[in-house]
Every structure is written in C-alpha cells, then in structure tokens.
C-alpha cells in the first residue's frame, strides 16, 4: 500500500505528522508534500524539521511538477490533505493543479482513488462550505478536524490519535490509535 499525504499551512500540522508516522509504523509507503507555509507551520507548531518527516516518508518539493505524485501512472491507494487550509481547499475544488500538492490531489480524484481532506478552520464561511460540498460531490471525503470525546481522551495525543484513526478507518487500515 502507498499513500500520499499533503500538509498545508493551516494550524494542526501535528495531524499530518502523526498520520505520516502512523502509516510508516504500519509498514505503509508514504509520499509527502508540504506547501511552503505547511513547512513553516510544521516547524513552528511541532518543533521539528522536514528532516524528521524524511525518516518516515519520501518528501517532495511542492514546486516539482515532474515528481512522481503529479502523474496518474504513479499508483497510490489515495491521498490525504491534512491539515487542509481554506486556500488549498479552494484550489482543490476548482482543480487548479498549480503546485504539486494540488496536482497530486487532482490526479487522485481523476484516477478514482480516495482523496481525504481535513479542513482546519473555524468559523467557516459559505464559500468554505461550498468548496467542501464541491469536493464531496466529486468523491472526496471531508473529515473536519473536529475530534470526538466519547472515547474519553486524557491527553492531547489521545485527541490527535482519534483524528488520525478516523483517517485510517477510511482506508480500512487496522490500528489501535483510539478505543472503539
């Protein structure tokens, strides 16, 4: 199994990093792309660098439209954009493909593969909601970064793992990130 992960500049970079490490720890091949702001927010919020990500994933430069992720012939089981900024959400809803992350997501949809977007913004405008609806109508799965609390989380990791576990559930990947 091979999964692509896109990380944008929205707050919540820990969700992307936790997903990447969880997939890697489960023996799944991970291909990641960070927007420029995604890298900056990741470093700021997590206190880590892209070198830490490279221990768990193949990492591409977002400006490299010749990268494998830009081609439909590069087979993946799907892609997750987590966190997904409203800027990127709008680009995905219009299939702009202006950089590697948005091109890879567009390829994921056109090839009929799973695309999951995890928007992390509040409150949302009607434009944001419309863009989510547009993506959902094309087959994308929208999982807002809105963790549940019925599993009685005790730590921040419990809350993060709940959201990452929900993403893994869409791919039908067995995990023990939260109590069911």
Query: pTM of the predicted model, to two decimals?
Result: 0.97
Run of H or E including 7: strand 2-7
Q: What is the pLDDT of residue 179?
A: 83
CB 97 within 8 A of CB 106: yes
How many helices (H) and strands (E) would you count in the chain?
7, 6
Question: What whole-number distance in Å separates Cα of residue 143 and Cα of residue 134?
Answer: 14
> Domains of the chain, with CATH numbers?
2-170 (3.40.50.1950)
Which residue numbers in the chain have pLDDT < 70? none
Binding residue numbers for FMN: 9-11, 35, 85-88, 120
18 three-state secondary structure? helix
Binding residue numbers for dimethylallyl phosphate: 150, 166
CB-CB neighbours of 49 under 10 Å: 11
Residue 162 pairs in a beta bridge with none
User: Please, what sign has the CA dihedral across residues 143, 175, 155, 17?
Assistant: negative
4 three-state secondary structure? strand
Q: Which tens digit of pLDDT belongs to each residue from 132-163?
A: 999 999 999 999 999 999 999 999 999 999 99
Q: Which of 79, 17, 2 is nearest to 52 (CA)?
A: 17
Binding residue numbers: 9-11, 35, 85-88, 120, 150, 166
163 three-state secondary structure? helix
Q: What is the pLDDT of residue 180?
A: 82
Class of residue 156 by CB neighbours under 10 A (exposed 0-12, middle 13-18, buried 19+)? exposed
């Amino acid at each position: 199994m091979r999964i692509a992960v896109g990380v944008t500049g929205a707050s919540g970079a820990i969700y992307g990093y936790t997903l990447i490490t969880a997939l890697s720890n489960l023996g799944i091949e991970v291909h990641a792309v960070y927007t420029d702001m995604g890298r900056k927010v990741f470093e700021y919020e997590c206190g880590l660098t892209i070198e830490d990500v490279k221990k768990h994933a193949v990492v591409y430069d977002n400006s490299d439209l010749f990268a494998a992720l830009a081609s439909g012939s590069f087979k993946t089981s799907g892609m997750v954009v987590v966190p997904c900024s409203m800027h990127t959400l709008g680009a995905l809803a219009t299939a702009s493909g202006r950089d590697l992350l948005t091109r890879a997501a567009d390829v994921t949809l056109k090839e009929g593969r799973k695309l999951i977007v995890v928007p992390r913004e509040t409150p949302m405008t009607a434009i944001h909601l419309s863009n989510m609806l547009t993506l959902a109508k094309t087959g994308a799965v929208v999982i807002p970064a809105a963790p549940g609390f019925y599993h009685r989380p005790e730590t921040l990791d419990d809350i993060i793992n709940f959201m990452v576990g929900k993403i893994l559930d869409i791919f039908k990947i067995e995990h023990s990130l939260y109590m069911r």
